[in-house]
Amino acid sequence: MTADVDPVSSKQKASVGIQVHSRSEKATGRQAGTDAWWRHSVIYQIYPRSFQDTNDDGIGDLRGIVDRLDYLTWLGVDAIWISPIFCSPMADFGYDISDYRNIDPRFGTLEDFDHLLAEAHRRGLRVLLDYVPNHTSDRHPWFLAARSARDDPHRDMYIWRDPAPDGGPPNNWQSDFGGDAWQWDEATEQYYYHAYLKEQPDLNWRNPLVRKEMYDVLHFWLDRGVDGFRVDVMWHLIKDDLFRDNPPNPDWTEAMPPHKKVLQIYSADRPEVHDVVSEMRGVLAEYGADRLLIGEIYLPLERLVAYYGRDLRGAHLPFNFHLITAPWEARHIERQIDEYEAALPEGGWPNWVLSNHDKPRIAARVGREQARVAAMMLLTLRGTPTVYYGDEIGMSNVAVPPGNVRDPFERQVPGRGFGRDPQRTPMQWDSTTNAGFSAGIPWLPIASDAADVNVEAQSSDPRSMLSLYRKLLSFRRRSDALTIGRYTKVHASKCVLAYLRETESERYLVALNLGPQPAEMTVPGPCRRVLDTSGGGAGQRIQETLRLAGNEGVVAEMID
């Protein structure tokens, strides 16, 4: 497999991306190659349908993102990851792609995309795209051809099987959106496999043609100058070649989605997937060492870290979602951090995520006050953080009435709390109509508290969530200890979690009260408060005992 190229290749020099790197090298004094940009960056996830609408159709678009780039640089993030913007029938809101090389007209045009990329790069912002290689739309020309006849040359680009002897599906694999993962095709009398909707047939990554075509898609966007990809459901790409039944999950409860009734050990996370991931990494490496590969992977830690790949030739950042699933308890989270740090391969760089478009927002899980503490945790742990749009103003989940449900998961498994519309509602910019998101009818409802919870209101309030995010981001940007420094655990009681972040020249104590009651802890040495979630107390010296208010987090500089 191709190794990462360093120094930069001529292709990379020709791209706009290199200008971005020069800027951040200048800003940080760090050199390309010795310290990749994404190690000291903060990624911001944009769900494009909900970010900013400029053509009044109630759906966000690329021009809307361009209009908000100054906000993002003001906020202080370094890269944006945009959820899928490619041509799609929208059965799964863009995760069902019918043309990988074009922009869906709802979002704009290729010219709009090039403009967005140039404008982002001009501001020093990197742009990451969502790459969806596991499945296409059932309207993709490859699938239309594949289902036209058994002997069509595209047939084997997808996964077709004969029925089981009883005429039913070939095995017990379940769709992650509920129900059987096999769809009967009447015309050609075989089943095809879909890990998600039947409108999202899985590609057959054992077929070299699929690999070639899908790597060409990566080239297409890399040639335009994108800085990397978040790879959708990376662990699903390769399935068992013998199509064995998944075993039952003895720990399944009614609170879990139906597909978790079985353990997906044969339908996902197969050993051969790592060859595919390192091939993808090889494609990126042709453009220099700077293009970033992130994998979406929901797996236990020991299996997650395998996605860094042999000799770190896999994903640069296999997304770590363990803070999303963890109970919000200090001891538990400390253990989680320890286990993650211990499981990382030598040289593997950590990362942390609190929310995304598939999971309830952090403010909905832990409450608005505690979400401030969570923000401090996200932005002070060792590793690249990803911020989900709207979390920086404390957006919470928005109840969507049954008649207005848009999410296919909620439609297929209704009323069980798995629906994802509540965390995908429009960004709250100001207190005008539709929170400044759209002059049309928004595709999902606007939060009822948007008149108060919005960017404009919070930007002039020094104690707001937005001001806290800005302070944390700016502090982090200026501190090597907080970005690339060591992590050392210090203390975990029922509610308080504390750790040190340090380099040879800087030492910070981070102390987080994960509960609503006041708490205290003994500090590892004299220190001085430099930043806290409540916005007061900076400069105060702490000799021995740090007193934390309920829902308070503190960053303190160690003095000795």
Query: Catalytic residues, which ones?
Result: 232, 296
Residue 438 beta carbon to ligand NOJ: minimum distance, rounded to whole angstroms: 22
Beta strands in 256-299 (DSSP E): 292-295
Tell me whether residue 86 or residue 469 sits nearer to ligand NOJ (CB atom): 86
* Residue 517 beta carbon to ligand NOJ: minimum distance, rounded to whole angstroms: 36
Distance CA 11, CA 319 (A): 28
Name residue, tokens 């253990």. Answer: 335
- Decide whether 296 or 502 has the Cβ nearer to ligand NOJ: 296
Residue 229 backbone phi and psi in degrees, to 5: -140, 150
Q: Tell me how many residues contact ligand NOJ (CB under 6 A).
A: 9
The residue sitting closest to ligand NOJ, measured at its beta carbon, is 95
In the range 287-316, which residues lie near ligand NOJ by CB under 6 A?
A: 296
Residue 1 token pair: 């497999």
> Residue 52 CB, nearest distance to ligand NOJ (Å)?
20
Window 213-272: residues binding ligand NOJ (CB under 6 A): 232-233
Which residue among 119, 156, 358, 557 contacts ligand NOJ (CB under 6 A)? 358
Strands (E), 405-558: 486-492, 496-502, 507-513, 519-522, 527-532, 541-542, 545-548, 553-558
Q: Examine residue 410 and tell whether it contacts ligand NOJ (CB under 6 A).
A: no
User: Quick one: 197 or 473, whose CB is closer to ligand NOJ?
Assistant: 197
Residues 272, 5: Cα–Cα separation, whole Å: 24
Helix, strand, coil distribution of the chain in percent, nearest 5: 35, 20, 50
Collapsed DSSP state (helix, strand, coil) of residue 46:
strand
Q: Which of 4, 53, 61, 92 binds ligand NOJ (CB under 6 A)?
A: 92
Are the C-beta atoms of residues 132 and 85 closer than 8 Å to each other?
A: no
Taking the complex as a whole, the smallest distance from the CB of residue 394 to ligand NOJ amounts, in Å, to: 23
What does the alpha-carbon distance between residue 95 and residue 80 come to, in Å, rounded to a whole number? 18
- Secondary structure (3-state) at 31: coil
- Complex with ligand NOJ: residue 292 or 514, whichever CB lies closer: 292
196 binding ligand NOJ? (CB under 6 A) = yes
Fill in the DSSP letter of residue 2.
P
- Phi, psi torsion values for 494, nearest 5 degrees: -60, -45
Closest separation in Å from C-beta 454 to ligand NOJ:
25
132 or 226: whose CB is closer to ligand NOJ? 132
- The neighbouring-strand residues paired with 223 are none
Contact pick of 47, 86, 95, 499 for ligand NOJ (by CB under 6 A): 95
Binding map of ligand NOJ across residues 426-445, x = CB under 6 A, - = no contact: --------------------
How many separate helices (H) and strands (E) can be counted in the chain? 17, 21
CB of 132 to ligand NOJ, least distance (A): 6
Pick 95 or 182: Cβ nearer ligand NOJ: 95
b/e map of 159-174 (b: 16 or more CB within 10 Å)? Answer: bbeeeeeeeebbbbbb
C-alpha closest to that of 50 among 490, 534, 391, 415:
391
In this complex, which beta carbon is closest to ligand NOJ, that of residue 232 or of residue 502? 232
- The residue whose two tokens read 């060409």 is 216
Report if residue 400 touches ligand NOJ, rule: CB under 6 A.
Answer: no
Which residues in the 124-143 window bind ligand NOJ by CB under 6 A?
Answer: 132
User: DSSP H helical segments within 286-367, as ranges?
Assistant: 301-304, 322-325, 330-343, 362-366
Closer residue to ligand NOJ (CB): 117 or 195? 195
Shortest reach from residue 90's CB to ligand NOJ, in Å: 12
Contact 554, 530 (CB under 8 A): no
The distance from CA 336 to its chain's CA centroid, rounded to whole angstroms, is: 19
Give me the least distance between CB of 202 and ligand NOJ, in Å please: 10
Cβ atoms of residues 442 and 231 within 8 Å: no
Catalog residues that contact ligand NOJ under the rule CB under 6 A: 92, 95, 132, 196, 232-233, 296, 357-358
